[in-house]
Amino acid sequence: MKKYETTFVLDSVLDNDSIEKEIKKVSDVITNSGGNIIKSEKWGIKRFAYPIAGKQQGFYTYIVFEGSPKTPQELEKIYKLNEACLRFLTVIHSGEEISAVTEKKPEVTTGAK
């Protein structure tokens, strides 16, 4: 089985119970197709750079999973049929964890004496 990662954006007007149901639907598709979820993160509500379907923000969810090559196709079907899903992307997981880069800027001192 290959490792995949999927990120999907739900309409932010959904209440917490509805968001949980939508995430469960995605999880069920993965597990029912013989896959297993490695990591699941709720990134919460984020503002879009531009309006999507007339919306200014959405609820982001990120899942890393193992599955058969048909699993991403099944996920795409449910994403497209779900009106609450504004955007989605499923790719093969590279195996590398992406971490936020935080560089400490060197302190600049003025030479004024």
Q: Which residues of the chain have pLDDT under 70?
A: 96-113
Please give the domain boundaries of the chain with CATH numbers for all domains. Answer: 2-82 (3.30.70.60)
Gyration radius from the chain CA atoms: 18
What b-and-e string marks burial along 43-70, b requiring 16 or more CB atoms within 10 Å of the CB?
Answer: eeeeeeeeeeeeeebbbbbebebbbeee
Predicted pLDDT at 63: 96
Predicted pLDDT at 101: 38
Predicted pLDDT at 95: 74
Predicted pLDDT at 100: 42
41-54 pLDDT, tens digit per residue, is 999 999 999 999 99
Predicted pLDDT at 106: 56
64 in Cβ contact with 93 (< 8 Å): yes
Predicted pLDDT at 94: 84
